[in-house]
Structures are given as C-alpha cells and as structure tokens.
Copies of this chain bind each other. A is one copy, B any other.
C-alpha cells in the first residue's frame, strides 16, 4: 500500500532554505545558538509548519517540541526528529534536515490521505549542539531521563546566563512533562558530517551505533636546557615523548584499521623556543571506537606507551581523563530494517558508525532507535560550507518515510 509513496523533494528543500534564512550569516550558513532569539525565530517557523499540518504540538520543561499525528491506534508514537539549534557558524543541514524531513514525511502522508496504525511524532530537542550550554544533547538527555530537569535548567552557559533564564526569556519553557509521550521507536535522519559516504560513492549510511569517546590530557615535565650545550644523552626533553606519542597513536590505529580512531589535536610546549629543550609538553589524545573493550584497551595502550617513554627520557608524567563515553549500539532490528528499506528503494548503502553524538543515541536508551546518514560534500561539518545534494536529501527522506511507515504498521 505504501510502496510507491515518495516525498516531495522541492517542498523539503524549500523548507530547508526557508529555515536557513533565520539566523543567516552574511557569507552563507546560519547561526542559531540554542535558546537565543535566533533559535526562537527558528522554533516559531517550525512550530508554525507543525500547526499548519494539524499536528498536536507540545513543548516540555526543557523546550523540547514534539508534534504528533494521530494513528489508527492510540499508544506510543513512532518518532523521528533531530534539532534545529546550530553551532555559532554552522550550516543549513545539521539537525534541520532531520526535523524538516520528518515534517515532509507527514506532508507526504497528508497528500496521500494515509493514516498509519501507530501515531507518528516529529520532535526537535533543545540544545543538541552544546555550543552555548554543556552538555550537548541536553534536551534529549532530559527527555530520556538521565539528566534531571532542574540540573539542566541551572546550567550556566558561555555568556554566564542559565538555560532556565533563557528558556523563559524566549518563552520556550513549556508545560508538557519531560519524557512524554513515551516512544515506540525512534529514527533520525542526519547528514554524515564526515567524508565516508562521499568517498565511497554511497548514498545511504545505515548507522549501526555511535563510537565511544575517550579524551585524555597528558602533561610531561622535563628540564629546559640549551639546545647547543646539552648532549642528547643528558636531555629530559618533554617534547620528545609528545612527538613519539603522536607517531604511536597513528601506528595504534593501523593495527585496527577502520575501527580505532586516534587524534592528537592540541599541543603546547614550554618555553616553545627554537633553541631551548622543552621543559613541559601538554597534549590531548582523542580516541574513538565502536567497541567499548577495544576503546579502553587502546586508552591503556596509550597510557602505557607514554609512561614507558617518559621514564626512558626522565620525565614526570601526569594525565587525566577529560571524557569517557561508552559506545552506543543501535537496535539491530532497526539497523536491519533501514538496510532493507534502502535496498528496496534502490539506494546504495553501507553500515557505518557515527563519529559524532546525536539525539538518537540518547533515545536509544529508552526505545529501539536508529539513524540514517546522507553524504556531506567534502565531509564538511559545523561550517557554513556544509552541503548535501538535493538527490541525497531526497533519498534519505524516502528511506526515513518508508522506515517510519514500517515501524508504524502493526502486523
């Protein structure tokens, strides 16, 4: 009955561009930091579209907005959605695509005069980016229940104001209880934010899970000395072990190709002079892996390497954990179904992990969840130049449509 149904690409792309005009940056891209007046203007536009589609709109205590379309049956809706807040200098697709594709699914069903068995819901969650208030995925964390509402409201942001104050200021602290409605299943369509799909020439990424994250900072203390008068054998060069670690973590990833990621992104040497042996090196290591045990083993391997190298060079080592997030695995049933739908619709597809965090990984704690990725041109993300082609948007939205329809059908 649903087989030939397809979304309206023009309508979807037009809405993406309309929403992108709100908080638009002069040179392209958009800036709608969470809970700012620009975010409010974006919310008002999306809520207007929701109401125009005769959806029942609720806003909860953290500003999450849920729009529900009745089904033939009562009970938990099948939900889709994402977020509409952006980083300070973001693109038009990150988050927005998932929300507007959800509305496009509703509009497609309306056009066809179809009603699903289960209700359908389209949600956008507050402050997914975390660019103004930490943590990111705040709205979905409150919705799912692991972040208490009061704690979230008291969060102080980069401009020293709280989430609660800002929600009140923009009138988006709603009366709906957080976490309602309970969700039957959740699917999020999102741009990849990485280069994999484009490089592989594949249209649909079937996201199996979200990588776990391990962030550690290391500080090595040696002795500053003259680069000309200090023999190599008498050095305690803090920079040496930093360099060796940068080389080591790349070798570590080569042992687990495609699975283990490692990045040394931030380094500082003191005194940082051309002819002085560094007395102090500070640097970070960012490790990611879809498998928890492998991730924590990699963390230990890095610590062991640095400890041994520091000892060999006569350096003092201190280090600390900055973040430890276990990997998330999406529902195998949903992953299988997304793959099946992509195939039926004739789109090339590949299973892949998500390297970034998403609301879907939070929802995965309270319901079967999954994600669909579409290609990001050049892998560019969190940047005004972020772009996904209309063809890929259409493909992703059709996979979303038919996946939601299957989940909303009671056999």
Contact = CB atoms under 8 A, between A and B. Distances in A.
Interface string A378-411: 0101100000000000000000000000000000
A38 to B, nearest CB: 24
B258 A275 contact: no
A194 B232 contact: no
A267 B263 contact: no
Nearest to A211: B228
> What bracket does the count of chain A residues touching chain B fall in?
35 or more
B265 A226 contact: no
Among all A-B residue pairs, the 9 with the closest Cβ atoms? A243-B246, A194-B229, A228-B355, A229-B355, A227-B263, A274-B284, A243-B243, A227-B286, A232-B253
A193 B286 CA distance: 40
A226 to B, nearest CB: 6
Interface in A269-319: 269, 272-278, 284, 286, 288
A65 to B, nearest CB: 27
A48 interface: no
Given A194-B231, A239-B264, 9 more contacts: A215-B275, A217-B274, A227-B286, A228-B261, A229-B354, A229-B379, A230-B261, A243-B245, A243-B250
Q: Assembly of this chain: how many copies?
A: 2
A132 to B, nearest CB: 17
Interface of A: 192-196, 199, 211, 213, 215, 217, 225-234, 237, 239-240, 242-247, 250, 253-254, 257-258, 260-267, 269, 272-278, 284, 286, 288, 322, 354-356, 379, 381-382
B244 A257 contact: no
Nearest to A213: B228
Given A247-B243, A267-B267, A277-B263, A234 B199 contact: yes
B274 A215 contact: yes
A312 to B, nearest CB: 11
Given A265-B272, A274-B215, A274-B266, A231 B258 contact: yes
B269 A274 contact: no
A275 B265 contact: yes
Contact of A225 (B225, B260, B379): B379
